[in-house]
Structure 1
Amino acid sequence: MSRAITAGAFALALAAAGCTPIVTTHGYAPAPEQLAQIQPGVDTPQTVARKIGRPLTGGVLRDDAWYYASSRFETVGAYPPRVTDRRVVVVRFGPDGFVQGVETYGLEDGRVINLVTRTTPTYGRELTVLQQLFGNLGNVGATATEAGMGRPGG
């Protein structure tokens, strides 16, 4: 009887461990206490760097804003990771070089944008596997030039 209880307890513990989420954090966004130290009109990029560190990235064409981003992911079992929290902090600088303002955005403020789709769009018709395998059976002696692929405009 005790072996059955031990085996049952082990199976229950194993099942519970499989359902425990694995939490990972990517990036860096300063804590609200750190952001409270930044004073618009007083701080410069140098003092901001000393107080909260250098940013993940700056403005695209000119360095008028610093961006800090942090994401928290949870993975449960074999399911793909799910974003549970995201913070983006923007420190904007005015033309005089002083901090103009600090903005914080969360997951609820954003939209899901698929940055890397891992697919290349193809234009034209899509071939099936059989068409790809047997498509050149009639073109045994054809070269790229004979097929019209090597001449200009072809």
Structure 2
Amino acid sequence: MGDDFMKPADDLTARVEQRLRTSADRYKVLDSYTSDFDPCETWTLTRDSIAAQAPIRVFLEEGDFDAHTYTMREGAFADEGAARHWLDDRSSPLPQPPECRGDAAALRTRAARTRSAGASAIPKAGLDAHSTPSAGTAQRPSPGR
């Protein structure tokens, strides 16, 4: 396999794939298509048997041969006609499934909190002390905290 092995490009791809692997017979395949040309992609049109809203799902996998990676995304539609229209047009983003919208918001919130915590990790005394040669020498918390 070597360098030609394609890897997931991001964590979202890995999560979508894991959900598919553990879904048993949740999704009924209605149609699929693969293109090995630019853009290199595979899409699968499915019906989600447990979705309360937007039961038609499109799983879109796009390959990046230069980076040896691929992305997998899931879109949700009210009906098969809307999904096929999106597949033909693609002028709008792939609509996220209702149950995943909270996940995306939670991930954004967690990332923002991590950035905020990193910015406040330098003690204020380190910034205000005139006897230190540089504010950059302030003590940082140990990695175990």
The structure with more radius of gyration: 1
Larger RCO, structures 1/2 (Cα 8 Å, 6+ apart): 1
**When you count helix as a share of all residues, which structure comes out higher?**
2
Shared fold (TM-score, shorter chain, > 0.5):
no
- TM-score (norm: length of structure 1): 0.31
- TM-score (norm: length of structure 2): 0.32
